[in-house]
Amino acid sequence: MKIILIGYMASGKSTLGKKLAKKANYDFLDLDDFIEKKENASVSEVFKTKGEIYFRKQEAFYLKELLKGDNNIILSVGGGTPCYGDNMDLILNANNVKSIYLKASIPTLVSKLIKKKSKRPLIAHIESEEELTEFIGKHLFERVQFYNNAEIKITTDGKTKKDIVKEIFSLLF
């Protein structure tokens, strides 16, 4: 089975994905890391030198590649992945795939992203917490319609990582 973790930037896709993979004895893959290896550049560098449209093309291409085959993997995708082209349909219609939306509130996302924005080209330029809150509010509003198509939705606010992993595990296995 392929378990695809989706959600906004800093919703915990990679951290929880790694823990879940360990518990389920699955391989863990992160789509951004995969792109960085293939492109031999960081996501920020790809955005800077080749632009976002190029990044989105590569993202869709490598997503398709990773959805092929019948290996067991936990795959965390980028916050934008489900929202471009037919990526979300591909995820939903792929063989033996379960999609999970990790749903975090705007204040939680802001408090995490304010510390980790430099590696994220879409928000790196934002200076204040107030501006970031406004940006995330609008951005999430546009994106949530894609995220909500996931088969499983897990709210993460106020739960420990351990509890979230347990909850996902019990829904899947």
d(CA 15, CA 76): 9
H/E stretch holding 43: helix 43-50
170 is in an annotated binding site: no
Q: Does 90 bind ligand S3P (CB under 6 A)?
A: no
Structure tokens given for 22: 């360990």
15 is in an annotated binding site: yes
Shortest separation between residue 139's beta carbon and ligand S3P, angstroms: 8
37 is in an annotated binding site: no
Member of 9, 16, 88, 154 binding ligand S3P (CB under 6 A)? 9
Q: Does 80 bind ligand S3P (CB under 6 A)?
A: yes
Q: Does 3 bind ligand S3P (CB under 6 A)?
A: no
If you count DSSP H runs as helices and E runs as strands, how many of each does the chain have, helices first?
A: 8, 5
**Three-class SS of residue 24?**
helix
Q: Does 75 bind ligand S3P (CB under 6 A)?
A: no
Member of 2, 103, 117, 120 binding ligand S3P (CB under 6 A)? 120
**Three-class SS of residue 73?**
strand
Give the x/- contact pattern for ligand S3P in 28-67, rule: CB under 6 A: ----x----------x------------------------
**124-152 as b/e: b if 16+ CB within 10 A:** eebeeeeebbebbeebbeebeebbeebee
Q: Does 122 bind ligand S3P (CB under 6 A)?
A: yes
156 is in an annotated binding site: no
CB 170 within 8 A of CB 110: no
Residues in binding contact with ligand S3P, number by CB under 6 A? 9
Strand partners, 74: 3, 28
Please report, in range form, the residues annotated as the binding site for ATP.
10-15, 120
Contacts with ligand S3P by CB under 6 A lie at 9, 32, 43, 78-80, 120-122
**Binding annotation:** 10-15, 32, 56, 79, 120, 143
